[in-house]
Structure 1
Amino acid sequence: MCGRYALTADSDEVYEFMNALGEGAFPARYNIAPTQPILIVVSSERRQPGSNLPERQAVLARWGFLPGWVKDPKDFPLLFNARAETAIGKASFRAAMRHRRVLVPASGFYEWRRPPKESDAKPQAYWVRPKRGGIIAFAGLMETWSSADGSEVDTAAIMTTKANKTMRQIHERMPVVIQPEDFERWLECKTQEPREVAHLMQPVEEDFFEAVPVSDLVNKVSNMGPELQKPVPVAEPVEPSAAKAKADSRQMSLF
């Protein structure tokens, strides 16, 4: 899953990396959460100057996908992620997978390692960033939702896939990362059907990300500064069986 992420790069760097036209500068954001506006990159009808390739446009959308057939958002669950394995056939995402695939630029994302149920430890937050640094692009889906009064809002979801071996130590899911050489294919919905881009929705290579343990400041949406990404020391997780054996040994030492 991906429930928090960050985009801290300079706006010009983001536009250049995505090869997209933007609407001006934007601030660094260290704690982007569902329901907030997020930057997405879409393919437009216009052509790039001197090329037959579609022009890309960076626009804002609400992070929380609403299918066009939803009558009242209050009666619909918040869909901020879409599972890559089922999005092609799922009613909520089927149309967007075919017609409205987008890219979501990011500097990295946050994930939490949950302790065993029998443990009283707190979840440990991690800042997951590319080892090489720089900007990455998540696979996303977009839908424009229209209300009964005619107003419209662009909404989006970030796609996730099963975690690779490295990330599985923290969580079983991770965002789908689209590499720059595949941007055009992912965004080209007219000629590239969902089944033809399905292979792009795979976990990235094992050494792509590094996970940095951080404090629980990221848990609160109101915390939005760079201190969220400051590393903190963390104890290695103890397997439930090992923890039980340790407890038993302490009990035996009382006699």
Structure 2
Amino acid sequence: MCNLYNLKASPHDIAAAFVAVEALGVALAKDYVSPGRSGLVVTGSAADRQLQAMRWGFPPPQGVRNPVVNVRNYVSPFWRSALANPDRRCIVPVTSFQEWSVDPDPTTGKKRPYWFSVPSRPIFAFAGVWRPTGDAPAYAFLTTGYEDDPSTHLVGAIHPKAMPVVLHEEDYDRWLQAPVEDALTLATPYPSQLMAVL
């Protein structure tokens, strides 16, 4: 489960990378995003994409303390309306993301953070969903398991439970506009050979 990612690019460069209009006042306080903090998302179709700031994490359901930042169960009623409505889907710009090792480091006894990037794409994107909330819109992004043995995947070898759904550039509009059954076919592990560990 990804709980930290970097966005080391200016809003202007991010908007240009996604052919999006930059909303007024879009800026991040830091070059990373953690749960509950503001991040940037792209909404809309190819003709009217907009880059805007939202808070990372849906308000939690009753009895849950922290915001819900990752979409794992696509059929859950908690996510159903956001996934089914193309107007509530978004793409989440990222420059790298962190996953923790499952096993502690033998020398320190602590889990180790690993950072992943897509070298050919300085700014890439997660498949996300968003919704309006009382004070500010909130977003979360999808995660996916591995089709085969997790240890055969670059991310899975370190974090076998799941990884964020990284979209191919040619799939942005499909994620943002397609019927939910088609859009969810994009929820697969991004190819290892296109990724790197930093």
TM range, smaller chain = 0.7 to 0.9
Q: Identity over the aligned pairs, expressed in percent? A: 29
2:127 corresponds to:
139
- Per the alignment, residue 157 of structure 2 pairs with 169
| Alpha-carbon distance between aligned partners in 1 of 2:30 and 2:121, rounded to the nearest angstrom | 16
Letter in 1 for 2:67: L
Amino acid in structure 1 at the alignment position of 2:14? V
1:56 to 2:49 alignment: yes
Match of 1:6 in 2: 6
Quote the RMSD (CA, aligned, Å): 2.5
1:94 aligned partner: 80
Tell me if 1:195 matches 2:181.
yes
Post-superposition offset of 1:181: 1.0
- Report matched runs for 1:61-80 at 5 Å: 61-66=54-59, 77-80=66-69
Give the match's secondary structure for 1:39: strand
TM superposition shift of 1:122: 1.0
Mapping 1:143-162, distance limit 5 Å: 143-146=131-134, 152-162=135-145
Question: SS where residue 19 of structure 1 aligns?
Answer: coil
Structure 2's unaligned 5+ residue stretches are none
Q: Match of 1:183, as an amino acid?
A: Y
CA distances 1:53-85 after superposition (whole Å, capped 9, x unpaired) = 540111111111138xx6x7x8664211001xx
Counterpart AA for 1:43: G
How far apart, CA to CA, are the structure 1 residues paired with 2:90 and 2:71? 13
- Matched with 1:218 is none
Q: 2:94 aligns with which of 96, 103, 106?
A: 106
After TM superposition, the score normalised by the length of structure 2 is: 0.85
Cα drift, residue 206 of structure 1: 1.5
In the TM superposition, residue 153 of structure 1 has moved relative to its aligned partner by 2.3
**How many residues are aligned here?**
189
Task: Quote the residue 2:39 is aligned against.
Answer: 38
Letter of the 1:91 partner, please give it. Answer: P
| Structure 1: runs of 5 or more not aligned | 45-52, 147-151, 213-255
| 1:186 alignment counterpart | 175
